[in-house]
Structure 1
């Protein structure tokens, strides 16, 4: 009975809480001044922060990532000479350190390493945890810029990157993470400075301990996903009880769902936000039921599953973590049936817009919404307008760039990896699924992987690192350029000839555009991977 109510309760709580927190975020990001903010303003500015145009905003974002990434790379490379390294762990090789650095500054948290055995406590706390906050804060900041720009009229400046980042981190992410960390500690998630334990009193099998709860909280809240332990939230020190499992699972989608209403509040389009929310929710529900019933019909796939959690809990986690750009796991995705694994891959191929990452899911969805308006205008003969702004060739070029750049990385990266015969251990269509999953995860800034894919090679580290950069910054650049262009146009009054954005019809059209665009891009390769494997397994052929 409890399992039957689990999914409806989860969805109901998400619908109930998200609008209120979205409005809170909008208030924080658009407030004139906040308590304690004066110290920050005096540190960077002589007075109030100056508003920035698109070019200035992007320059600030670039320098922030360059400096933060350089610091993290040095921490990972030379962790052997830094403090808080009780297990005497060596510094990372340069290519793995570069891959990990890119992974965390892009909010991907792809892990080509095992956290407890290859990272010191100093690297986890001082290197990775701040990036968990800051990369998520960047996503919220970009969404705030885009939201302000779209509804502005004949303006060029739409906020200050540093102020948006400060507010996102210290007034939104940090308080929620502290609360979640306390709740996780109450459930037995470890948060300690103690030395590693020794199994059965020996010194041959150390069991690492450390400040895990604090990192787990922000890895979930910030849709980062990088686990303190190698097996992520399948580890009993990281996720010990059904209650901790629900807290972590709800944290994956809580802020991404709230970002939809943040967008609605800033753009003053409450009904439009609900339409977008239910588009995302519909995709999530369809994905969950596809995974659940595929697993229900394949009861023999137990290897790699955490039996402490029910089928509903595991299926919902897989659906939520690949719908968002989270990447955390409470069971190994390589162990799922081919159809369930294929759903996970396809959700990542959707550019992580089924709620998606913190901020990133909503501003990625904006590109699909603009494409929907443009295509609808072509079909009906109406002038394509979004919030009273004409959609012209400039906006469509950048929109297609933002949508297609990650797609190109997925397909070309997969093709080259097959020719190089690099990283995959399986045979047949499952080998293709392993590679496809890896490049979809990197390009979608997700971070999870099929267990059989060996990513810690020179090609794996560099190619996946490149895809993470493209997946993150091509979308950011495109959506900022589109929003800034719209912000510079005069807002026209709505008329009977305009296409309404707050109707069920618009929701259906947007849903269709998302599925068709991604389906046409990826169906051939999906047919050769998870779909073919599903057919062959039903015929008794295994890999």
Structure 2
């Protein structure tokens, strides 16, 4: 590790936190419908769409509207991918996507997972990329933020039966946040050298005199929303490691900022909506703290390098550079990996399969903690609030009083629903990964034996159920079994978690908001921040310890003993 490396990390995170302040203010105004000079235009758009923003929805109606919208999005995207060969804007002449892969891809983009069992430049036409995948990048991200708005309102008000209007929230987030933000970011990326064209490819003559065909396409705009919406699905197969998606350290830094600024900003927006900025800052402190610790762990593991290479005199001075871009080094790779897996983005600028065992353990564990550190756009905040409810419940048990959070009493119904939400991920991840590791149809996809092969499979289901979409590598994922089961894991990770969360929001919104009393646990200070971090580690991560011990931890011990896989 170097001083320059830490300076890079500090500069990027500092810029993100500064930008999160105005973003958080705008998110709060969007949630409250206070759009200022845009109010007139917003009213016209909603009226044209047939949406009455003043007509609120209870949690069941809000949930049904969200589910119906996403089901329609899945059907449209699936049909587009299957019919790709006969649709326009297909200069490569690509055929339709096979049914299992189309099923997996459609679910992936609708759930904001963006897992890719294909290489984009050789599988997807420009139409599929622009009007299929990129559109869902906007809509799945807007869905997550809309759900966060609904949950925030439940804490801000008392004795109400409505959480807002899903259609109004979805429209406002898309038009007044994601679209302008993506346009600005896209122009910045294009200025840095990212291509934005409808050409299929360009021909080049190499220095050796050979001919090379270089894939091109409308990359810039998709790159912008892929990070701003914490989607992660790249135009190219190697994602941000491709020089057209990551042309410079500046472009890589901007990608890190984009994939974390909305999750950070939502914490600050939460503080404004509930009328106590300290509450939002406490949640933000937990998120930033975990990002820093994870970055440190990855940076240290990769900078230390592989001891077998060191003993053989083969290790580069800067550490383990396998699978990383020499232009960026380990520092930006560590920060990018920590934020992309913690933020439910899934984009990569380094191949996690090539990390040291402990370096690869950290991003997997971040996803397993519940995608709340900082989590996806929207999903990070409402996931964090679920853990906050469990934290005050644990504190209430210790002092012998009914737990409460922001003036809302947390009772048996809310705790049961919160535990149901928290248990969705381990049940799906460990259940499906275990099944795939004992069936030949699953093990046939593994590239490596031993603990490394276990990590490949465990990471795949972790990424799918966590709606992250990053890949460990080394796994042949485009098979009927994996396309189907990973798709089901994405559905459970997104909607199996959201249903109890909205039920909690509906229950809390109906309760009065009482003022703090002398026995109320302060939920904005260091004590609660530490308690919340501990609950996330214990409830979110402890159930994965046996699997991690058999995977990356066992591989690390074997590596120290001179054995590789």
Aligned to 1:112: 117
Q: How does 1:56-75 map to 2 (within 5 A)?
A: 56-75=61-80
Equivalent in 518, 531, 547 of residue 496 of structure 1: 518
1:273 and 2:280 correspond: yes
Structure 1 CA distance, aligned partners of 2:227 and 2:325? Answer: 19
Task: Give the number of aligned pairs.
Answer: 543
Residue equivalent to 2:237: 230
How far 1:277 sits from its partner (Å)? 0.7
Aligned to 1:10: 12
Q: Structure 1: 5+ residue runs without aligned partners?
A: none
Deviation at 1:456, TM superposition (A): 0.6
Out of 371, 376, 381, the position equivalent to 1:352 is 371
Distance 2:188 2:278 in 1: 34
Q: Deviations over 1:16-41 (max 9, x none)?
A: 22122101111122125623122332
2:345 is equivalent to residue 323 of structure 1: no
User: Partner of 1:451 in structure 2?
Assistant: 473
Q: 1:295 to 1:32 in 2, by over 3 A?
A: closer
Compared CA separation, residues 342 and 47, structure 1 to 2 (3 A): closer
- List per-residue Cα deviations over 1:47-78 (Å, max 9, x = no partner): 55411110110111011011111110011111
Q: Say if 1:19 and 1:258, in contact at 8 Å, map to a contact too.
A: yes
Aligned equivalent of 1:27, options 12, 26, 29: 29
Aligned-residue offset at 1:150:
1.8
- What is aligned with 1:539? 561
The answer to whether the 8 Å contact 1:107/1:445 transfers is: yes
Contact 2:368–2:541 (CA under 8 A) maintained in structure 1 = no
Q: Is the 8 A contact 1:22 1:262 kept in 2?
A: yes
- Residue 198 of structure 2, aligned match among 181, 188, 193: 193
Alpha-carbon deviation of 1:473?
A: 0.8
User: Within the alignment, does 1:290 sit opposite 2:292 as a pair?
Assistant: no
Alpha-carbon shift at residue 489 of structure 1 (Å): 1.0
Q: 1:94 to 1:264 in 2, by over 3 A?
A: same
Equivalent residue for 1:253?
260
475 and 203 in structure 1: CA distance in 2 versus 1, 3 angstrom threshold: farther
Give SS of 1:35's match.
Answer: helix
Quote the Cα distance in structure 2 between the aligned partners of 1:143 and 1:211: 31
Q: How does 1:109-508 map to 2 (within 5 A)?
A: 109-200=114-205, 206-298=213-305, 300=315, 301-421=320-440, 422=442, 423-508=445-530
Q: Is the 8 A contact 2:402 2:411 kept in 1?
A: no
Which piece of structure 1 moves more, 445-454 or 491-500?
491-500
Change (3 A) 1:171 1:448: same
SS of the counterpart of 2:205? Answer: helix
SS at match of 2:40: coil
CA-CA distance at 1:341 after TM superposition: 0.4
Taking the aligned partners of 1:123 and 1:19, their CA distance within structure 2 comes to 35
Give the C-alpha shift of residue 2 in structure 1: 4.0
On the 8 A contact 1:192/1:210 being kept in 2, the answer is: yes
Which structure 2 residue ranges, 5 or more long, are not aligned? Answer: 307-314
- In the alignment, is the contact (CA less than 8 A) between 1:382 and 1:498 conserved in 2? no
**Distance in 1 between residues matched to 2:68 and 2:538, nearest whole Å:** 37
The structural deviation recorded for 1:194 is: 2.2
2:531 corresponds to 1:509:
yes
Tell me the TM-score normalized by structure 1: 0.97
Moved over 6 A (4+): 201-204
Residue 534 of structure 2 is aligned to residue 529 of structure 1: no
SS at match of 1:197: strand
Deviation at 1:369, TM superposition (A): 0.3
Deviation at 1:45, TM superposition (A): 3.2
SS of equivalent residue, structure 1 residue 530? helix
Deviations 1:295-318 (A, max 9, x none): 111154443222221110111111
Q: TM-score under structure 2 normalisation?
A: 0.94
